[in-house]
Chain A
Amino acid sequence: MQTRNGYGPPVYPTPKIGDPAVLRAIVGTAVFLALIALLSLALGTIFRRTAVSIDKPGCKGDPDGCPPHDTTAIMLSGVHFGQIAAIVLAVALMSAEFHPG
């Protein structure tokens, strides 16, 4: 597409696929997209609580047919962020002396 629109050599040399820099850019883009997908997946799972009973079809999206939501648990779901803070704080308190800086 680029070449047809005038981005030709010598000013815009055609990249070779085997060139390390080109290869790095292509693979890097793929890895970047994969990581974004993974991040979305992780965030999605953090904010979604699994019910223990998953064998209730027809319950999805229909509040009338479902047991009431556990509002208290949702209210306290900030604990997922809280635990990360607690982990980082406690690990740092213990490990920082072994690996200062």
Chain B
Amino acid sequence: MIRTTLAMNPRRATVFTAKAVAAGITVLVTAAIGAVLVGRPLLSGKGLTADLGYPTLALSAGSLRRAVFGTVLYLLLVALISIGVAAAIRHPGAGIGTMLFNFSGPYLITVLVPMSTSTLHHIQDASPMMAGLSVQTTVAGMGTSSLHPWTGLAVLAAYAAGALLLGGILFRIRDA
């Protein structure tokens, strides 16, 4: 199939970019709808109210908007990393496995292996999932990493840039 695609459009950079854009837009739209509509009514319906230590932020709160918008960006970046990794690895099963291992692996290690707080912070700050998800933090000290929310997302963006670069280069130079 990829040979047919490249026979129709031999410019590989264009094909690669088109695939990244297609995945990005699909995930972006779905994530935006999901993030805004699903979580909020679900929580209060299950009894997680302010009385029990679960205060809900007003919709106008800056940190809430940052968390929601950041989550949408997070999913977009995850999709872009997946595109890069998939272009490098090619096999779908291996690609999905690599992505899940890289995202959840460091987190499972921090849960299972006893370690000092500074080691924990180092792993959290370098892990794409934990650093990236710190963009959701609205209570100081409760985040998934010790990074500032936007700095954490920047770590994930750096991973995305690296993965896209690697995937793009390999897509260009390797035989189809």
Chain A residues proximal to chain B, CB less than 8 Å: 42, 45-46, 49-55, 63, 66-79, 82-100
Contact = CB atoms under 8 A, between A and B. Distances in A.
A78 B142 contact: no
**Which 8 pairs between the two chains have the least Cβ-Cβ distance?**
A90-B82, A94-B86, A75-B39, A63-B53, A95-B92, A97-B2, A97-B1, A90-B23
Contacts of A90: 23, 27, 78-80, 82-83, 86
A86 B124 CA distance: 22
Main secondary structure of the interface of B (DSSP, over half): helix
Interface in B78-97: 78-80, 82-83, 85-87, 89-92, 95-96
Nearest to B111: A45
B19 interface: yes
A73 B67 contact: yes
Given A49-B144, A71-B138, A83-B75, 18 more contacts: A54-B117, A68-B53, A72-B57, A73-B133, A73-B136, A75-B40, A75-B42, A79-B74, A83-B129, A86-B31, A91-B85, A92-B92, A94-B82, A94-B83, A94-B87, A94-B95, A97-B5, A100-B1
| Interface SS majority for chain A | helix
A76 B111 contact: no
A94 B144 CA distance: 30
Nearest to A53: B141
Interface in B1-52: 1-2, 5, 19, 22-23, 26-27, 30-31, 34-35, 38-40, 42-43, 48, 52
B100 interface: yes
B109 to A, nearest CB: 10
